[in-house]
Chains A and B, each alone.
Chain A
Amino acid sequence: MTNSIEETLNTDLIFIIGSNTTETHPVISTFMKRAIKRGAKLIVADPRRIELSQLADVYLQIKPGTNVALLNGMMNVILEEELYDKEFIEKNTENFEAFREVIKGYTPEVAAQICNVDKEDIIKAARLYARAPKAGIYYTMGVTQHSTGTSGVMSISNLSLLCGNVGKESAGVNPLRGQNNVQGSTDMGAVPTDYPGYQKVFKPEVKEKFEKAWNAKLSGTVGLTVAEMMKEAEKGNLKFMYIMGENPMVSDPDISHVDKALRSLDFLVVQDLFLTETAEYADVVLPASSFAEKDGTFTNTERRVQRVRQGIKPVGNSKPDWQILSDIMKRLGHEKEYSHPSEIMEEIRSVTPQYGGITYERIEEEGLQWPCPDLSHPGTKYLHKDRIMRGKGLFMPIDYRESVETPDEEYPFILTTGRLRYHYHTRTLTGRVEGLNKLQPHSFMEINEATASRLGIADGEKVRVISRRGEIVVTARITDAVDENVLFIPFHFADTRVNYLTHTMDLDEYSKIPELKVTAVKLERIGS
């Protein structure tokens, strides 16, 4: 998030696109609801009629995969009606003219047609957004999990720049990070392109810096992403994998392919709290301690580094992940030994400029938000305050592209996936909490009333959902939350693994994110 969660309270407009906030970030949704009560306007764009759509001034039930067209359509209106922030653009941005050229093609009529919404609603949303003194955009995987996910993110940035909502309190571009420490693990360089602090592995001067800091010879070649690792494993090029606290056998797209990949490995280490679906494939399983059994830090979605504190001793013979890693590293020749995670933080802050001022002592009472470059820095509530981070905000001319797998005669429905309030990721943890299972015991498939009646499917009936990669059986839930040609299935449940259906074709070219939000499927009644 460029801005902070509590700033949501004072915003004039909330634009939620591709986020079911009440379910995925429940506490942030409480801030939103309070802002709305206070008079903030709300725009919701989502293929599902989510809870917050009921409070919206404009709700756009867009076809999955058409975010870019919608955003371009809104920007077309804003440009046409000259509602944009001319002074801000002049002073703080680049490439406006090229961007403007592209947007010309996206009249509200064109966008409405692509998104399958009313053009008047696009116009209304555009005006609302542009006229709000402080407008914040909030999004999650509904924007990113597309083959054009990066385009979606850039379009959001365009819209925000266009109306001068950057570097302003209670405004900004606010991706809500899903898992508790996605922000932190990316900050820490658990990605194939970056060392900690987004320093690029392929830059010689960066490599040199880390070679010195770590006293090691480093590779300048960008590594493989998860999806690429799976592909290389299946081809036999990747021989060894170490999986810490992840469960790709449920969470990753096209599970049959993951299954083959893991089977092809020479050696697999899995480190987790439980014997997960993925751990079954391992040659060695290491028992890790839970968050309640260790010290450390997580970085939340507003870049706030907060303490994790040990409450109990490690369960059984388990060890905290940092301890396990430290033990193995030692055996691989690492000279440094860490007796407590605070010592690791000391090392982190010596090589990660954004974390330069973060110590356990300073975050004892309350977390600090990065960038926090030195010990006297108070942390950063919202980004780009005095200047746009890269110098000037860059407009990106972006065209709408269709999803990779669009419905056709054989596979006529768009299946989209997502999360529920009562479960977390692959249910390794929440599936073991009785009350949560009571509240949400099974998976289901949302299907529109008209579609269900056309196919003769009754509420609660089991149906077979088939894609080009696999099939699952799931219980139908008839609802008006989805449009007639759209289906929704949550991805949490291992017994109805929706990721048997999803695909890994044409990953987004920048982020390598799979298009989990759009899969073409067909339905079959069981016994018909």
Chain B
Amino acid sequence: MVEITVNGKKYQVDKGITILEACNRLGISIPTLCNDDRLEPYGACRLCVVEIKGRRNLEASCSTKVRDGMEIETHSEKVIKARKEILDLLYSNHPEDCLTCEKAGECKLMDYCYEYGIKKGSYIGEKKKYPIDESNPFYYYDPNKCILCGKCVRVCRDLQGTSAIAFKNRGFNTKVSTPFDMGLATSDCVSCGNCVANCPVGALMPKKPEKFRTWEVKKVKTTCIYCGVGCQMYLLVKGNRVVGVEPARGKANNGLMCVKGRFGYGFINHPDRLKTPLIKRNGKFEEATWEEAYDLIVNKIKEIREKYGPDSLGGLSSAKCTNEENYLFQKMFRALIGTNNVDHCARL
């Protein structure tokens, strides 16, 4: 442990962590656009600068480690001025379409501009005019909104391990791009959307099959159904429809997902969904009530068990259903029908 002073108050914090991390743990919020605790510090946005007593320059708190006796100011006048300058520059370079931007409500640039009172960019000049890359079926990249925080590039390389994207060009013309600038569809991209989930602004965005504003949706934490990793995720719910999915941090997935879990939710509200029980009569399915269906099933079970014995009945439970459902299924066959003929397709 080391002792540090933040904004005039003394704290004991772990040795070897960064100032940003220490402040996060202490509940002192420092703005940052490029930091992610799963990635190496990058120091690109410099929004997290703080003043350290005895040092002439402001230091990026994401890449400066705490030292015993350090005295830190996170919101001094000098710090605030520097942050305003950075935000002003970023916003001067940004398309001013926040009213219709899909990210509105969850945009970090918007949040910080609000917090630091940046109403408009004071640097007037050329704005970027790149085409939007729409080639991927699930997300798009709008280079004009990109603030070059490098999160997507680092997430794809260091967490996802695919390295499908990289920075191209320098200075004003820098943008995120695929090899040879051929579009995302021709790259090594596996459409996991992990870059998208970490974009702080509206540059990398999921394509929305249904329009919604970020504040209109309820986020419900649940578990992915597409493989045994069990990634934790949020369903984005609007009304009675699932309109999107976002990764959550779980022990097994660390905030990452793959294409199926992330974008494969379209079946939920699909028009093909079965909506009522069906009973086959003369080779054709006819709609029925639950009562009719239940009566028929229960009568058949009783009849067949009576005639041929319980072992003439069998059931396939499902590796896609919950534990509770599997439990009930085998209990039904064992305790109420009287046979151990229960299986599921674990082997397939």
Q: B269 near A315 (CB under 8 angstroms)?
A: yes
Q: A318 near B275 (CB under 8 angstroms)?
A: yes
Q: B335 near A286 (CB under 8 angstroms)?
A: no
Cα–Cα distance between A424 and B314 once the two chains are bound (Å)? 25
Contact flag A144-B228 (CB < 8 Å), given A306-B250, A341-B324, A430-B264: no
Contact flag A180-B330 (CB < 8 Å), given A219-B340, A300-B228: no
User: Within 8 Å of chain B (Cβ to Cβ): is A95?
Assistant: no
The answer, among B159, B257, B314, B322, for a CB contact under 8 Å with A240, is B314
Q: B49 to nearest A CB, angstroms?
A: 30
Closest residue on chain A to residue B38 by CB atoms: A34
Q: A306 near B230 (CB under 8 angstroms)?
A: yes
User: Within 8 Å of chain A (Cβ to Cβ): is B279?
Assistant: yes
Q: A242 to nearest B CB, angstroms?
A: 4
A-chain residues with CB within 8 Å of residue B323 when the two chains form the complex: 181, 184-185, 187-188, 296-299, 305, 345, 348
The answer, among A237, A312, A422, A423, for a CB contact under 8 Å with B241, is A312
Q: B313 to nearest A CB, angstroms?
A: 4
Q: A309 near B220 (CB under 8 angstroms)?
A: yes
| A246-292 with Cβ < 8 A to chain B | 246, 248, 251-252, 266-267, 269, 272-275, 282-288, 290-292
Q: A285 near B274 (CB under 8 angstroms)?
A: yes
B-chain residues with CB within 8 Å of residue A28 when the two chains form the complex: 229
Q: B316 near A243 (CB under 8 angstroms)?
A: yes
Q: A244 near B285 (CB under 8 angstroms)?
A: no
B-chain residues with CB within 8 Å of residue A243 when the two chains form the complex: 315-316
A-chain residues with CB within 8 Å of residue B344 when the two chains form the complex: 182, 185-186, 190-191, 226, 246
| B236-264 with Cβ < 8 A to chain A | 237, 240-242, 250-254, 256-260, 263-264
A-chain residues with CB within 8 Å of residue B322 when the two chains form the complex: 181, 184, 291, 294, 296-298, 308, 321-322, 341
Closest residue on chain B to residue A179 by CB atoms: B319
User: Within 8 Å of chain B (Cβ to Cβ): is A91?
Assistant: no
The 0/1 profile, CB within 8 Å of A marked 1, for residues 9-24 of chain B is: 0000000000000000
The 0/1 profile, CB within 8 Å of B marked 1, for residues 310-351 of chain A is: 111101111111100111110111100010010011011000
Cα–Cα distance between A183 and B321 once the two chains are bound (Å)? 11
Q: A292 near B294 (CB under 8 angstroms)?
A: no
Q: A150 to nearest B CB, angstroms?
A: 11
| B290-348 with Cβ < 8 A to chain A | 290, 293-298, 300-302, 304, 308, 310-348
Q: How many A-B residue pairs have CB under 8 A?
A: 455
Cα–Cα distance between A4 and B251 once the two chains are bound (Å)? 9
A-chain residues with CB within 8 Å of residue B192 when the two chains form the complex: 26
Cα–Cα distance between A430 and B263 once the two chains are bound (Å)? 10
B-chain residues with CB within 8 Å of residue A218 when the two chains form the complex: 334-335, 338
User: Within 8 Å of chain B (Cβ to Cβ): is A223?
Assistant: yes
The answer, among A177, A266, A425, for a CB contact under 8 Å with B228, is A177
Cα–Cα distance between A188 and B326 once the two chains are bound (Å)? 6
The answer, among B161, B240, B302, B336, for a CB contact under 8 Å with A216, is B336
Q: How many residues of A contact B (CB 8 A)?
A: 147
Among the 9-residue stretches A81-89, A161-169, A434-442, the one with 4 or more Cβ atoms under 8 Å from chain B is A434-442
User: Within 8 Å of chain B (Cβ to Cβ): is A375?
Assistant: no
The answer, among B137, B274, B329, for a CB contact under 8 Å with A190, is B329
User: Within 8 Å of chain A (Cβ to Cβ): is B267?
Assistant: yes
The 0/1 profile, CB within 8 Å of A marked 1, for residues 216-245 of chain B is: 001011111111111110010100111000
Contact flag A273-B252 (CB < 8 Å), given A182-B346, A210-B334, A301-B230: no
Contact flag A317-B290 (CB < 8 Å), given A29-B161, A283-B279: yes
Cα–Cα distance between A316 and B240 once the two chains are bound (Å)? 11
Contact flag A240-B324 (CB < 8 Å), given A180-B225, A331-B298: no
Q: A26 near B258 (CB under 8 angstroms)?
A: yes
A-chain residues with CB within 8 Å of residue B325 when the two chains form the complex: 244, 296, 320-322, 325
User: Within 8 Å of chain A (Cβ to Cβ): is B280?
Assistant: yes
Q: B190 near A315 (CB under 8 angstroms)?
A: no
Q: B296 near A292 (CB under 8 angstroms)?
A: no
- CB-defined A-B contacts under 8 Å, sample of 16: A26-B190, A33-B161, A34-B158, A181-B319, A188-B326, A246-B318, A274-B274, A284-B293, A287-B275, A304-B251, A306-B230, A308-B223, A315-B275, A422-B259, A424-B264, A430-B264
Which B residues are closer than 8 A to A by beta carbons?
137-138, 158-161, 190-192, 207, 218, 220-232, 235, 237, 240-242, 250-254, 256-260, 263-270, 272-280, 285, 288, 290, 293-298, 300-302, 304, 308, 310-348
* Other A-B pairs beyond A224-B343, A284-B296, 4, CB < 8 Å: A31-B254, A184-B322, A311-B237, A318-B275
